[in-house]
Amino acid sequence: MAPRRIRPITDAVALRCDGRAVTAQRDEPIAVALLAAGRTTLTRSVKYHRPRGPTCMAGRCDGCLMRVDGVPSVMTCRARAAPGRVVETQNVIGSAQLDLLEATDWFFPGGLDHHHMFTRFGPVNRAMQAVARRVAGIGRLPDRVAPVVPPERLDAEVLVVGAGVAGLEVATEAARRGMDVLLVDEEPQPGGLLVWQPRSAITDRHANGALAIVGELVARARAAGVRWLPNTCVVGVYDDVALCDAEDGPRLLRFRRIVVATGTHEGAVDAVDADAPAVFGTRAAARLLAYGVLVGDAVVVAGEGAWTRAVAEALRDAGARVEGPHALEALRAVRTRGGRVRGAVLELDGATRTVECDAVVVGPPPSAAYELAAQAGARVVFDGRRFVVQADDEGRTGIARLFAVGACTGRDTVEEALAQARRAATVLAEGGTT
Ligand code: FES
């Protein structure tokens, strides 16, 4: 079986995907609607045209890129379902399920070095380039030239990027000390990962504690006067200005001090074909459950930690037959046929066996989301386990105006993140800059 809805749609809207009608819950991500409609392969890899599907459901992989309303390479895990939206597979000859360009993969089983192919003879090389341009790539240009939208400009004394636990806390404490604070996040609601705490879509019982914490943090932030900007992704920091990509157009945010609290990404998995459609990260599986979609009826879970265990339990609660969670290293390969997951090869107690399943959920250790802080000038260091943003217990990075707090700096527990965020707010209020 493919992913399926376990909670009925309450406010239906109709989309069209590759000419077919798809019913979606209003405002849910388009990728959720497509998965729930039984489509796990949404796109193809750029070079070898291998089947790809949503892995992260958070704008962090490329498994959901499609053409939406004439615009190529839209992350459908971020684009919302609305009446009449037109979604198309891009960069295939045929369909996402049966793409003739997949022949590239068969012709070059040992890999394709396009940098050195046919470079000795100019005309042959030019012909090859023309073919490569048609075969590779990430979609055709948009149907029409988008109008130039002037950026919205906003000022803030303190700009906090990331509305997870650490971001909410530093924003609240700085505002309580009289500072003008703007909090931005790419998600529609504050709370970071806690919002997606693994839950049974039926009972919600796993999420209740987490949602209570989020509710309290958000209430405090509101009471302190923190300004909140959702659906806004900060893509670069240039001196005292942050450039943002938002749903309704670009934004330029000018600040005196910036605090990066971008949290973590889910890591990658080293197993054969672990990039196939219907292999999901634990965070993606939890998000899908929150939207009322179960990733499969028979699910193998491999990964570490409390979050992975909670996801496995929530999947069971929601009606899936769950094998695991097993250690991440136990997952050796994913078996696929016809673009669908058919099984997982597990190595347990020295023996190898294949478990039949229709989805695999993996929970690798998270890695710090250090990109924005690094782009802004912070150092990224190896702390013995992983790379993190270098920041002291007060969140200082050594760069004027730039602070970093929370999990992106290696403060993994809620207590550590909150303590560092509070101290950073004190330094900010006292006028410290580095
Ligand atoms: S970027 Fe959309 S599923 Fe990963």
Q: How far is CA 4 from CA 36, 161, 291, 320, 341, in A?
A: 5, 34, 11, 11, 15
**Residues with Cβ < 8 Å from 130, sequence gap 6 or more?**
none
How much of the chain, in percent, has pLDDT values that exceed 90?
Answer: 74
Evaluate: CB of 61 within 6 angstroms of ligand 1: yes
What lies within 8 Å, CB to CB, of 134 at 6+ separation is: none
Helices and strands (H, E) in the chain, number of each type: 9, 27
Average confidence (pLDDT) over 237-266: 95
pLDDT by residue (tens digit) across 125-134?
888 777 777 7
Q: Classify domain 279-363 at the CATH topology level.
A: FAD/NAD(P)-binding domain (3.50.50)
Q: Do domains 4-135 and 279-363 have the same CATH topology?
A: no
Asked whether 56 lines ligand 1 (CB < 6 A), one says: yes
- Average pLDDT (302-310) is 92
Question: Residues 34-68, buried b or exposed e (16+ Cβ, 10 A)?
Answer: bbbbebbbbbbbbbbbbbbbbbbbbebbbbbbbbb
The alpha carbon torsion through 100, 102, 108, 111 (nearest 10 deg) reads: 150
pLDDT(202) > 70: no
Q: Does the C-beta of 34 come closer than 6 Å to ligand 1? A: no
State the chain's mean pLDDT as an integer: 92
Question: Do 200 and 289 touch, CB atoms closer than 8 A?
Answer: yes
In order, the DSSP letters of 401-422 are TEEE-GGGGT--SHHHHHHHHH
Mean pLDDT of 202-212: 66
Cβ of residue 87 lying under 6 Å from some atom of ligand 1: no
Looking at the predicted structure, is the pLDDT value of residue 205 above 60?
no
CA 263 to chain centre: 12
- 279 Cβ below 6 A of ligand 1: no
pLDDT digits (tens, 9 = 90+) for 264-280: 999 889 999 999 999 99
Asked if residue 319 lies in contact with residue 326, where contact means CB atoms within 8 angstroms, the answer is no
List, for residues 20-69, the tens digit of each pLDDT value.
Answer: 999 999 999 999 999 999 999 999 998 888 999 999 999 999 999 999 99
274: Cβ below 6 Å to ligand 1? no
Confidence of residue 2 (pLDDT cuts 50, 70, 90): confident
Q: What is the pLDDT of residues 78-116, one digit of tens each?
A: 999 999 999 999 988 888 888 888 888 877 777 777 777
Residues with Cβ within 8 Å of 299's Cβ and at least 6 positions away in sequence, in order, are 315, 320, 321, 322, 323, 357, 358, 359, 360, 361
Q: Ligand 1 atom closest to Cα of 78?
A: 2
Q: What is the DSSP letter of 169?
A: H
Instruction: Classify strands 4-5 and 71-75 as parallel, antiparallel or unpaired.
Output: unpaired
DSSP class per residue in 268-307: ---SBTTTSTTEEEHHHHHHHHHTTEES-SEEEEEE-HHH
Both tokens of residue 402?
A: 């730039």
Cα 410 to averaged position of ligand 1 atoms, centre (Å): 24
Calpha distance 291→80 (Å, rounded): 13
Determine whether the shortest distance from the Cβ of 68 to ligand 1 is under 6 A: no
Mean pLDDT of 227-248: 95
Please tell me the distance between residue 344's alpha carbon and the centre of ligand 1 in angstroms.
22
Q: Name the residue at shortest CA distance from atom 4 of ligand 1.
A: 61
* CA 243 – CA 249 distance, rounded (Å): 11
CATH architecture designation of domain 4-135: Roll (3.10)
SS3 category, 165: helix
Q: What is the mean pLDDT of residues 164-173?
A: 97
Which pTM was predicted? 0.92
CA dihedral 291, 292, 293, 298 (to 10 degrees): 140
56-65, 195-204, 319-328, 357-366 — which is least confidently predicted? 195-204
Q: Which of 244, 214, 251, 283 is nearest to 60 (CA)?
A: 283
Distance from Cα 36 to the centre of ligand 1, integer Å:
15
The residue to mutate among 64, 186, 279, having the most atoms of ligand 1 within 8 angstroms of its beta carbon, is 64
Q: How confident is the model at residue 433 (pLDDT cuts 50, 70, 90)?
A: low
By most ligand atoms within 8 Å of CB, the mutation choice from 56, 265, 288, 293 for ligand 1 is 56
Q: What is the pLDDT of residues 307-344, one digit of tens each?
A: 999 999 999 999 999 999 999 999 999 999 877 899 99
Residues 310, 121: Cα–Cα separation, whole Å? 59
Tell me how far the alpha carbon of residue 207 is from its chain's centroid. 20
Identify the DSSP state of 407. G
Average pLDDT over residues 5-19: 96
CATH superfamily for domain 152-265+368-429? FAD/NAD(P)-binding domain (3.50.50.60)
DSSP H stretches of helix in 318-384: 371-375
Cβ-proximal residues to 363 (8 Å cutoff; 6+ apart), any chain: 266, 281, 282, 301, 302, 303, 304, 305, 307, 308, 311, 325, 328
Whole-number Å distance between alpha carbons of 318 and 195: 18
Cβ(54) – ligand 1 distance below 6 Å: yes
pLDDT tens for each residue of 113-163: 777 777 777 888 888 777 777 777 778 889 988 888 899 999 999 999 999
| Mean pLDDT confidence for 248-274 | 95
Up-side HSE of residue 4: CA atoms within 13 Å toward CB?
A: 11
Termini Cα distance of the chain: 54
pLDDT: is 89 or 248 the higher one? Answer: 89
| Distance of alpha carbon 145 from alpha carbon 7, whole angstroms | 39
DSSP-based three-state secondary structure for 317? helix
Instruction: Specify the pLDDT at position 116.
Output: 74
List the domain boundaries for the chain. Answer: 4-135, 152-265+368-429, 279-363
pLDDT band of residue 434 (cuts 50, 70, 90) is: low
pLDDT, residue 156, reads: 97
